[in-house]
Chain A
Amino acid sequence: MYVIVVYDVNVDRVNKVRIFLKQYLNWVQNSVFEGELTKSELSIVEHAVQELINQSEDSVRIYVLRSDKYLEMIEVGTSKVDVSEII
């Protein structure tokens, strides 16, 4: 499934969240990650993020799409990253 993670986390913890998510997803913008995950990877990500954040202060949203086929993305301005597999 294709997953988009957006987060609003206090600066004290934001780096931890970012560094963790980097292992699983592509960093597309400040506080936004995207990528393909399996069901089990998604639950790993979900639980790990839960451990990293402060439940009463931070917010993380995970949008789950069945596949990126169902995603239509409109990008305005300059793209910050290249996620292609051919470097």
Chain B
Amino acid sequence: MKTNYYITKDGVLRRKENTVYFIDKTEQRALPIQKIYAIYAYGNLSFTSGVVSYLAKNGVPIHFFNSYGFYEGSLYPRETLVSGDATIKQAEHYLDGERRSILAKLFVEGAAKNILRNLNYYSKDTNSLTSYIEKIEHELGQLPGYTTIPQIMSVEGHIRDFYYSALDCIFPAEFQIGERVKRPPNNKTNTLLSFGNSLMYATVLSEIYNTQLNPTISFLHEPFERRFSLSLDVAEIFKPIIVDRVIFKLINKNMLDETDFSGDIGNMLLSESGRKKFLQEYHERLSRTIEHKGLGREVSYQRLIRLELYKLVKHVLGTQKYKPLVMWW
């Protein structure tokens, strides 16, 4: 199994002795090139051109994030899995309004069902969640009647609003979300959500790179220029499974303290220690395995993302209808 590396410090990345070295004032770390799946860079990194071409040659993408933890861009190796057929079919599904809305609805449905799984888990302890669960189920029930993308997006927005209000019933006062505010996030949980969601987009992008799909052609989100919006679509399904659960764990187990955040209310950031804690949990969750019913073997959560994309490929090629992943465990 290849593994992700997350670099939170400032330093230099260089090629040495046929592998990759991370070097800063205090340490020299050799990363085994054959075991690197992707690099997530949060610090200020300097590169040598040697390391860039070596990573590209070995198919390793590097994802960059700014000090807010927002996704900035990726250094992405040359595409090796290109299929004109798949790209044309994928674009066809975007251009045909009906086929596009089918996919868009499925993404929202998958996301909502996973959100409900999360809430149902907590509703065992707190009865106050029941009304929110009903509201989300009601919204979900409306979905089949809608056909336009703005309508579908608004369902998604409402579900998220209800979800976050429901979470405020569980979270301690310090971690109330209130309203979801981005760019910059204004409180602790919003900071965690922004950080985690950006990370999720990059993780999905790494997986898209390993399939024939074109990351710029999306269905639920608009394929704006200069954005890999397909990863936003697919991330919707995985945010409740991966990011939200990391946040639940960090908050409910009291793993975060004041030193893990920096900045004032209204302009909150994760500090270096906070980023490390988050990345540690995130990494652990991606590597966690579950028994897959269809495949009859253990697969990691990261692998589930790839399997989801394969289902999407099959859907656009018309061999098998796409059904979003809903947690069965």
B6 near A85 (CB under 8 angstroms)?
yes
A82 near B32 (CB under 8 angstroms)?
no
A24 near B30 (CB under 8 angstroms)?
no
Contacts A19-B18, A38-B1 known; A87 to B29 CB distance under 8 Å?
A: yes
Which residue of chain A lies nearest to B30 when distances are taken between CB atoms in the complex?
A22
- A13-41 at interface with B (beta carbon < 8 Å): 19-20, 22-27, 35-36, 38, 41
Whether a CB of chain B sits under 8 angstroms from the CB of A86 is yes
B30 near A85 (CB under 8 angstroms)?
no
Q: How far is the CA of A69 from the CA of B7 in the complex (A)?
A: 26
Contacts of B130 in A (CB 8 A): none
B1 near A22 (CB under 8 angstroms)?
no
Whether a CB of chain A sits under 8 angstroms from the CB of B205 is no
Q: How far is the CA of A69 from the CA of B182 in the complex (A)?
A: 40
Whether a CB of chain A sits under 8 angstroms from the CB of B9 is yes
Contacts A23-B18, A35-B35 known; A85 to B5 CB distance under 8 Å?
A: yes
| Shortest CB distance A40–B (Å) | 11
Whether a CB of chain A sits under 8 angstroms from the CB of B276 is yes
Contacts A19-B18, A23-B19, A87-B22 known; A41 to B34 CB distance under 8 Å?
A: yes
Whether a CB of chain A sits under 8 angstroms from the CB of B49 is no
**Can you list, as one digit per residue, whether each of A58-87 has a CB less than 8 Å from chain B (1) or not (0)?**
000000000000000000000001101111
Q: Count of A-B contacts with CB under 8 A?
A: 51
Contacts of B30 in A (CB 8 A): 22, 26-27
Q: How far is the CA of A26 from the CA of B17 in the complex (A)?
A: 14
Q: How far is the CA of A38 from the CA of B6 in the complex (A)?
A: 22
| Shortest CB distance A82–B (Å) | 7
**Can you list, as one digit per residue, whether each of B22-57 has a CB less than 8 Å from chain A (1) or not (0)?**
100001011011110000000000000000000000
A23 near B33 (CB under 8 angstroms)?
yes
Q: How far is the CA of A64 from the CA of B7 in the complex (A)?
A: 29
Whether a CB of chain A sits under 8 angstroms from the CB of B283 is yes
Q: Which of A26, A38, A86, A87 contacts B32 (CB 8 A)?
A: A26
Contacts A86-B276, A86-B279, A87-B9 known; A23 to B3 CB distance under 8 Å?
A: no
Contacts of B34 in A (CB 8 A): 23-24, 41
Q: Which of A36, A81, A82, A87 contacts B5 (CB 8 A)?
A: A87
Which residue of chain A lies nearest to B1 when distances are taken between CB atoms in the complex?
A36
Contacts of A81 in B (CB 8 A): 29
Contacts of A35 in B (CB 8 A): 32, 35
Whether a CB of chain A sits under 8 angstroms from the CB of B8 is yes
Contacts of B29 in A (CB 8 A): 81-82, 87
Q: How far is the CA of A81 from the CA of B27 in the complex (A)?
A: 10
Chain A residues packing against B (C-beta within 8 Å): 19-20, 22-27, 35-36, 38, 41, 81-82, 84-87
21 A-B pairs (CB sep. < 8 Å) = A22-B18, A22-B19, A22-B30, A22-B32, A23-B18, A23-B19, A23-B33, A24-B34, A24-B35, A25-B32, A35-B35, A36-B1, A38-B1, A82-B27, A85-B5, A85-B6, A85-B283, A86-B8, A87-B6, A87-B7, A87-B29
